[in-house]
């Protein structure tokens, strides 16, 4: 049999129960329940799936989560607003700037402080670098799941360069607590802008490299094209946002729809897919990496001068040199470090666009220096509900590919 | 965001349907919140969906202790055409913490309502599978209520404790 | 410039002989194979070409240089654990880039990330499924102590399993994790192998399942097709 005939035969297989003419289950056709996880190399974190299989076809799927539930939201109620930032960063552990941004945005809205334009641009630079880094880890690990093991090293090579940039600006590779209420922690050091420009100069060619390896690869196409598509209406009903929704054709991106932190100053496109299958999800993220590079370059070009944090001394620490000359600065410093600033009572929900979708932070303050409730609306938590309809009537290998393309981060799901 | 007048118009429409539907409106920092009667939250969400707020972004719970009614459930809605957001709030007391589930209207509320049940104890009537989602199945208590202790423990290291509590006699560590 | 040639002092070290010794070594090897070497010649041959050590030391040297870590990434530290496999801090230099998925094939458990109370029995079960000799590294602050979070949902790893090396950091840099792994290597090389019960005084904690009690209590079985009993 020739290859094309074989492929035609393959394509003609219909896995749905009706397609297989299963009117009544024969006694030898049982459903098997398989427990995948929580410790399994192909789940992205400790996700447990109870899969009902008929042969190798998935008939039903139940995700069980909570294996990395850390009680972050409860811990935050116990800490001053400043001290919440390192705790809340560790939630969605690949998008740490985004966690901090959502929380700081919510607190700034409650406090009604203005973030200076330089701080907004610096935030955008770091957020977009973090987006590229998150997509790189997604690329490396999901291609690892599919079997293209060498992609892992290529993706992590670029990730190391981005982590070097983070280390240069804040001193830490991960969980940098760079974004603070009112601005950013520190102004960027000398040489940072040049290093970022160097990175932006080579990144598009690296994305070209990844695409050259993967885009038209026979195995990637077979495993991702027309695999587990889901229409936009179901996704909208499930509350799915982010690259999954954009791959299905809905151009909803909070950076464009509801800009925050000067995103409206930048000119970039939002990649949107057509079919909504795994291949579109993969392509949308690759294109997003390119767009993020453009945003970073524009932000560097237009970086305004000015303070890196709000000058409201009741919210942000005064610069250290003032502490030796001004008594007021000393008092503010003391109050901020010991008790922290007080936030007027109110509730606010502040959404931003994280690499996985809409990351929202709900903060309720009761007038004291500690938040009364912090809730992070994590995109992966809501997106996970889409796995069951996606993987229904697909092979179990397709389920693994779909999980990879879903990009779940269990730290965010479980909080 | 609907401005304050838009919010009042929406509230007015709902009050036209039934006087007791909307308990309060709040326009704060540019966002509108409708506080509604818990038993009819489904009706309110259906009405808002007809008005364009068809995307449910989030369902989350709040404990308003010591104010009564203590437990709150907030629904965040988005109108993607007009790029508007709206919050719907319900407040229930701890002894009658029941809210009708909206899973049939918005399937994405499935896991989120389970989380509110797990963390706060609000029972969503009509939910297909209301179990604990983040805590172990047999856990007792609702951790994110304000009167639940944060917990935590003193730190024990293998090399530093000369007797680990709970291990049998003779099974201690040689210092 | 003059080239100074230094004569080697004393007998040449094994494997470092000058080229003209090579012929002599060849002849001695031939004699050895024929069984013709005796007495002092035989002693010298053995000294030069055979490494003597105790079996324990050799075994521990082999074990330490070929650890198979189990893939056990829980949270943020898992990303930094993936970084040590990446090209910059290359763990393949030390022999353990082969992360095994099955605990039966692994001998090192790197608990990278926070252990929640739901996950703790699972971690313990994976650790129990590993075959002796086995070691555990608690990577990061959350698994060693409670880390940034000290609350109802987390448990430090020392509470339910023995940990050999704690690597501090939140998350620890890949270099720090490498340092921890190399420290573990030295520990393995230094001590003769013992099971974890001997190392940490866990004697008396073995569980005996009496056959009558085990009937009818198959743990974890669920009837086929039943996904609701999670």
Closest CA to A149 of C67, C85, C73, C107: C85
Closest CA–CA distance from residue B169 to any residue of chain A (Å) = 33
Contact of C8 with chain B, judged by CB distance below 8 Å, is answered with no
pLDDT at A210: 92
pLDDT at C198: 72
Give the containing element (helix H, strand E) for A64. Answer: strand A57-64
Per-residue CA distances from A389 to A237, A238, A400, C19 (Å)? 12, 10, 14, 73
Measure the CA–CA gap between A257 and B83, rounded to whole angstroms: 7
Per-residue pLDDT reduced to its tens digit, C66-118: 888 887 888 888 899 888 888 888 888 888 878 888 889 988 999 998 999 99
Chain C: touching chains (3 or more CB pairs < 8 Å): A, B
Query: What confidence category does residue C20 fall into, taking pLDDT thresholds of 50, 70 and 90?
Result: low
pLDDT of B165 above 60? no
pLDDT of A7 above 80? no
Judging contacts by C-beta atoms under 8 Å, the chain C residues touching residue A64 are 230
Torsion of CA A288, A290, A292, A297, to 10 degrees: -170
Tell me whether residues A46 and C119 touch, CB distance under 8 A.
Answer: yes
Write down the mean pLDDT value for chain A. 89
Per-residue pLDDT reduced to its tens digit, C179-215: 998 888 888 887 756 677 777 766 776 777 777 754 4
Per-residue pLDDT reduced to its tens digit, A85-96: 999 999 999 999
Closest CA–CA distance from residue B40 to any residue of chain C (Å) = 30
Write down the mean pLDDT value for chain C. 77
pLDDT at C59: 80
Tell me whether residues C152 and B150 touch, CB distance under 8 A.
Answer: yes
Q: Are B21 and B44 in contact (CB under 8 A)?
A: yes
Give the containing element (helix H, strand E) for C125. Answer: helix C120-129
Bigger pLDDT: A345 or C13? A345
Percent of chain C exceeding pLDDT 90 equals 12
Task: Classify residue B80 as exposed, middle or buried by CB count within 10 Å of its CB (0-12, 13-18, 19+).
Answer: middle
Identity of the residue in B136, B155, B171 whose CB atom sits nearest the CB atom of C146? B155
pLDDT at B65: 83
3 state DSSP class of A91: coil
Task: Classify residue B138 as exposed, middle or buried by CB count within 10 Å of its CB (0-12, 13-18, 19+).
Answer: exposed
pLDDT at B162: 61
Determine the average pLDDT of the residues in A265-270: 92
pLDDT of B175 above 80? no
Closest CA–CA distance from residue A182 to any residue of chain B (Å) = 17
pLDDT of C230 above 70? no
Calculate the CA C142 to chain-centre distance.
22
Write down the mean pLDDT value for chain B. 83
pLDDT of C134 above 70? yes
Measure the CA–CA gap between A119 and A101, rounded to whole angstroms: 12
pLDDT at B11: 81
Judging contacts by C-beta atoms under 8 Å, the chain B residues touching residue C163 are 158
Closest CA to A103 of A413, A414, A362: A362
Torsion of CA C116, C119, C123, C129, to 10 degrees: 170
Per-residue pLDDT reduced to its tens digit, C148-160: 888 888 888 888 8
CB neighbour list of residue B122: distance below 8 Å, 6 or more residues apart? B61, B71, B73, B92, B97, B98, B99, B116
Calculate the CA C128 to chain-centre distance.
16
Query: What confidence category does residue A2 fall into, taking pLDDT thresholds of 50, 70 and 90?
Result: low
Measure the CA–CA gap between C37 and C30, rounded to whole angstroms: 9
Fill in the DSSP letter of residue C110: E
Per-residue CA distances from A271 to A12, A64, A250, B2 (Å)? 31, 32, 10, 28
Tell me whether residues C116 and A66 touch, CB distance under 8 A.
Answer: yes
Chain B: touching chains (3 or more CB pairs < 8 Å): A, C
Per-residue pLDDT reduced to its tens digit, B135-159: 888 888 888 888 888 877 766 566 6
pLDDT of C176 above 80? yes
pLDDT at C16: 46
Measure the CA–CA gap between A57 and A233, rounded to whole angstroms: 25
Cα end-to-end distance, chain C, whole Å: 81
pLDDT of A205 above 90? yes
Bigger pLDDT: B175 or A30? A30
Place of tokens 């609701």: C228
Query: What confidence category does residue C65 fall into, taking pLDDT thresholds of 50, 70 and 90?
Result: confident
pLDDT at A355: 94
Per-residue pLDDT reduced to its tens digit, A176-193: 989 999 899 889 998 999
Q: Are B57 and A358 in contact (CB under 8 A)?
A: yes
Q: How many CB atoms lie within 10 A of CB C23?
A: 9
Bigger pLDDT: C61 or A370? A370
Torsion of CA A214, A219, A224, A225, to 10 degrees: 100
Measure the CA–CA gap between B22 and B7, rounded to whole angstroms: 12
**A406: its two tokens:** 């879903």
pLDDT at C229: 36
Q: Are B174 and C201 in contact (CB under 8 A)?
A: yes
Q: What are phi and psi of C213, to 5 degrees?
A: -70, -25
Q: Are A177 and A185 in contact (CB under 8 A)?
A: yes
Query: What confidence category does residue A360 fall into, taking pLDDT thresholds of 50, 70 and 90?
Result: very high
Of the given ranges (A3-12, A319-328, B76-85), which has the lowest mean pLDDT?
A3-12
Judging contacts by C-beta atoms under 8 Å, the chain B residues touching residue A73 are 119, 144
Per-residue CA distances from B114 to A97, A381, B120, B134 (Å)? 28, 12, 10, 9
Tell me whether residues B152 and C201 touch, CB distance under 8 A.
Answer: no
pLDDT of A133 above 90? yes
Q: Which of residues 121-160 of B touch C (CB under 8 A)?
A: 129, 131, 135-137, 143, 148-153, 155-158
CB neighbour list of residue C95: distance below 8 Å, 6 or more residues apart? C65, C66, C67
Measure the CA–CA gap between A326 and C93, rounded to whole angstroms: 55
pLDDT at A31: 83
Per-residue pLDDT reduced to its tens digit, A282-325: 999 999 999 999 999 999 999 999 988 888 888 888 888 888 88
Place of tokens 């946002």: A241
**B107: its two tokens:** 């399937």
Per-residue pLDDT reduced to its tens digit, A344-358: 999 999 999 999 999
pLDDT at B172: 41
Judging contacts by C-beta atoms under 8 Å, the chain A residues touching residue B56 are 239
Determine the average pLDDT of the residues in A237-254: 92
Contact of C154 with chain A, judged by CB distance below 8 Å, is answered with yes
Quote helix, strand, coil % in chain C, to nearest 5. 40, 10, 50
Determine the average pLDDT of the residues in B21-25: 84
3 state DSSP class of C52: coil
Query: What confidence category does residue C220 fall into, taking pLDDT thresholds of 50, 70 and 90?
Result: very low
3 state DSSP class of C152: coil
**pTM, to two decimals:** 0.84
Measure the CA–CA gap between A38 and A48, rounded to whole angstroms: 4
Query: What confidence category does residue B25 fall into, taking pLDDT thresholds of 50, 70 and 90?
Result: confident
3 state DSSP class of A61: strand
Beta-sheet strands, E only, within A207-356:
346-354
Identity of the residue in A65, A250, A258 whose CB atom sits nearest the CB atom of B133? A65
pLDDT at B1: 53
Per-residue pLDDT reduced to its tens digit, A270-280: 999 998 899 99
Contact of B87 with chain A, judged by CB distance below 8 Å, is answered with yes
Give the containing element (helix H, strand E) for A377. Answer: strand A371-377
Of the given ranges (A65-79, A273-287, A359-373, C213-227), which has the lowest mean pLDDT?
C213-227
Measure the CA–CA gap between A95 and A162, rounded to whole angstroms: 13
CB neighbour list of residue A182: distance below 8 Å, 6 or more residues apart? A104, A108, A113, A115, A119, A309, A310, A312, A315, A316
Query: What confidence category does residue A203 fall into, taking pLDDT thresholds of 50, 70 and 90?
Result: very high
Measure the CA–CA gap between B113 and B132, rounded to whole angstroms: 10
Query: What confidence category does residue A238 fall into, taking pLDDT thresholds of 50, 70 and 90?
Result: very high
């Amino acid at each position: 049999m020739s290859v094309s005939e074989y492929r035609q035969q393959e394509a003609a297989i219909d896995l749905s129960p009706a397609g297989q003419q299963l009117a009544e289950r024969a006694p030898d056709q049982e459903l098997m329940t398989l427990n995948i996880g929580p410790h399994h190399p192909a789940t992205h974190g400790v996700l447990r799936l109870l899969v009902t299989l008929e042969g190798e076809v998935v008939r039903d799927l139940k995700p069980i989560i909570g294996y990395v539930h850390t009680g972050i939201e409860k811990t935050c109620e116990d800490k001053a607003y400043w001290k919440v930032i390192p705790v809340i960063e560790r939630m969605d552990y690949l998008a740490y700037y985004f966690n901090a941004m959502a929380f700081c945005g919510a607190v700034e809205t409650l406090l009604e402080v203005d973030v200076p334009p330089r701080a907004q641009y610096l935030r955008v630079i770091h957020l977009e670098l973090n987006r590229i880094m998150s997509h790189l880890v997604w690329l490396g690990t999901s291609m690892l799941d599919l079997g293209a093991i060498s992609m892992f090293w290529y993706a992590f090579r670029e990730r190391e360069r981005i982590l070097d940039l983070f280390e240069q600006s804040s001193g830490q590779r991960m969980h940098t607590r760079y974004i603070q209420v009112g601005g950013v922690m520190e102004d960027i050091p000398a040489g940072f802008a040049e290093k970022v420009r160097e990175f932006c100069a080579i990144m598009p060619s690296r994305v070209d490299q990844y695409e050259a390896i993967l885009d038209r690869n026979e195995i990637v196409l077979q495993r991702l094209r027309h695999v587990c598509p889901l229409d936009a209406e179901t996704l909208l009903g499930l509350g799915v946002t982010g690259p999954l929704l954009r791959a299905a054709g809905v151009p909803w991106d909070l950076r464009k729809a509801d800009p925050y932190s000067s995103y409206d100053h930048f000119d970039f496109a939002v990649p949107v897919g057509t079919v909504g299958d795994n291949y579109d999800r993969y392509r949308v993220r690759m294109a997003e990496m390119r767009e993020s590079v453009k945003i970073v370059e524009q932000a560097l070009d237009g970086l305004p001068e000015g303070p890196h944090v709000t000058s409201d001394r009741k919210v942000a620490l005064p610069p250290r040199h003032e502490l030796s000359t001004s008594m007021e600065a000393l008092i503010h410093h003391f109050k901020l470090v010991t008790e922290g600033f007080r936030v007027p009572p109110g509730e606010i929900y502040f959404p931003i666009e994280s690499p996985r979708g809409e990351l929202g932070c709900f903060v309720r303050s009761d007038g004291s220096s500690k938040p009364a409730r912090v809730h992070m609306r994590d995109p992966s938590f809501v997106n996970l509900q889409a796995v069951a309809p996606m993987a229904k009537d697909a092979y179990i290998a397709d389920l693994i590919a779909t999980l990879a393309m879903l990009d779940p981060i269990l730290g965010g799901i479980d909080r | 965001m609907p401005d304050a007048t838009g919010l009042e118009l929406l509230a007015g429409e709902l009050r036209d349907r039934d006087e007791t539907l909307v308990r309060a409106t709040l326009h704060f920092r540019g966002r509108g919140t409708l506080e509604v009667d818990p038993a009819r939250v489904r009706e309110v969400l259906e009405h808002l969906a007809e008005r364009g707020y068809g995307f449910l972004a989030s369902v989350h719970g709040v404990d308003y202790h010591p104010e009564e009614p203590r437990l709150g459930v907030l629904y965040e809605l988005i109108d993607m055409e007009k790029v508007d957001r709206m919050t719907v709030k319900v407040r229930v007391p701890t002894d009658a913490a029941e809210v009708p589930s909206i899973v049939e209207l918005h399937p994405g509320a499935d896991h989120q309502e389970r989380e509110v049940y797990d963390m706060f104890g609000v029972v969503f009537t009509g939910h297909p599978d209301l179990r604990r989602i983040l805590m172990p199945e047999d856990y007792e208590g609702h951790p994110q209520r304000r009167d639940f202790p944060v917990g935590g423990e003193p730190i024990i290291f293998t090399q530093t404790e000369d007797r680990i509590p709970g291990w049998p006699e003779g099974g201690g560590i040689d210092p | 410039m003059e080239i100074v040639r230094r004569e080697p002092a004393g007998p040449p070290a094994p494997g470092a002989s000058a080229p003209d010794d090579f012929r002599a070594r060849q002849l001695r090897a031939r004699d050895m194979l024929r069984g013709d070497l005796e007495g002092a010649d035989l002693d010298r041959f053995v000294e030069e070409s055979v490494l003597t050590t105790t079996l324990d030391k050799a075994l521990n040297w082999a074990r330490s240089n070929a650890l198979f870590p189990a893939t056990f990434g829980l949270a943020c530290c898992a990303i930094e654990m993936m970084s040590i496999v990446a090209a910059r801090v290359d763990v393949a230099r030390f022999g353990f880039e082969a992360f095994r998925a099955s605990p039966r094939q692994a001998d090192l458990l790197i608990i990278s990330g926070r252990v929640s109370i739901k996950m703790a029995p699972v971690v313990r079960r994976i650790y129990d499924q590993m075959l002796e000799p086995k070691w555990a590294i608690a990577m990061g602050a959350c698994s060693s102590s409670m880390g940034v979070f000290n609350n109802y949902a987390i448990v430090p790893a020392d509470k339910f399993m023995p940990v050999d090396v704690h690597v501090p950091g939140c998350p620890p840099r890949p270099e720090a994790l490498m340092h921890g792994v190399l420290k573990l290597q030295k520990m393995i090389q230094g001590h003769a192998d013992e099971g974890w019960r001997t190392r940490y005084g866990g004697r008396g904690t073995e569980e005996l399942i009496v056959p009558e009690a085990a009937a009818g209590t198959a743990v974890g079985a669920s009837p086929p097709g039943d996904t609701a009993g999670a």
